Amino acid sequence: MFTRKSGIAALFTAVCLLVAIGGCEGPEGPQGPPGTSPVYINGWIQPHTSLDSSSHAEVEVYNIPEIPNVEINGIPIPLQYSFSWRIPYRFVHLDLPISAGDSTELLVTYTELDGSSGIAKAGVISPGPFEITSSDTSYDTIAVGDSLAVRWSQSDGADIYLVRFDFQFRYTDTSGISERFYCTIDTLMSDVCITFSPTELFPPIAEIGSVEVANGHFQIWAINGPAKEGDEGNITGDGMGFFNGWTSGGSLYILVGGSDSLVNEAEEPPNRVPKLMRHRANSVDSYRSNQQVFRAFCRASFD
């Protein structure tokens, strides 16, 4: 499992550096030719699987002199919106004929300011189909105070797995006060198993008088392409950035035995921090932190 690293800190450092450079004063030299910032592309595709009836592709293109043409496997991707230079051109397709395990080629073409042709491209494999194997159904039940282990099969072509897990535990403590306890996890995994400890899922057992609601939702994706912090982008040619293939491995609902909670009662944690809350180190903060830093660079330099 990858440990937490601060993508926010890296982003803050990049922005401060740009501000510092822009604020420096000194002798003014001769005027040079106008510079150009590179075209930046950030995209992903989630293919058809037995768990997903349709594919979904999104591509964002920054700092480009005109609306580009975007294709995936030769199929045009429609422009969804672009409001200003601060918002990228965003292209979306919701029904591409691409399945898990297929090769995927991204092509972005446009005309440079000098009239020459700009071509940027990238290729990934949509990771092969896989599934959660630790439960025979879409539900799993644990007891109060138990740990939870979730396993999944290997996905061919996966470079890494993305895990998302939300678990809520609402209870009345021994003083008769209603309390909330949350576990929210977003993390990148190289393994095919993750275990959540009792201290991540539950408050101290001695504090629990009765259980009000207790349930959770686990999701897993396989990712191909650069995703870990420090990975270089895979866009080549007249552009830079990242293009990834995602494949869903499904989801798993978690119930707590002996409680009256139902799956459809699951809710998002409130904005305020509850009295009791547990949060695993969120290593996905570092996921695509390099893309975030570059976006900060683009937006700051466009000013």
Proportion of the chain above pLDDT 70, given as a percent: 69
Has this prediction a pTM greater than 0.75?
no
| Residue 206 domain-assigned (yes or no) | yes
Q: Is residue 192 part of a domain?
A: yes
Does the residue 77 lie in any domain? no
Domain count, the chain: 1
Report, as an integer, the average pLDDT of 223-239.
94
What is the tens place of the pLDDT at every residue in 238-279? Answer: 999 999 999 999 999 999 985 544 333 434 333 322 333 233
- Degrees (nearest 5) of the Cα angle 89, 95, 101? 100
Q: Give residue 14's pLDDT.
A: 36
Could you tell me if 224 and 198 are in contact, meaning their C-beta atoms sit under 8 angstroms apart?
Answer: no
- Owning domain of residue 271: 139-227+246-284
60-89 confidence digits (pLDDT tens): 999 988 899 999 999 999 998 765 555 689
**Which CATH number is 148's domain given?**
2.60.40.10
Tell me if 265 is assigned to some domain.
Answer: yes
The verdict on residue 301 lying in a domain is no
- 183-217 per-position pLDDT tens digit: 999 999 999 999 999 999 999 999 999 999 999 99
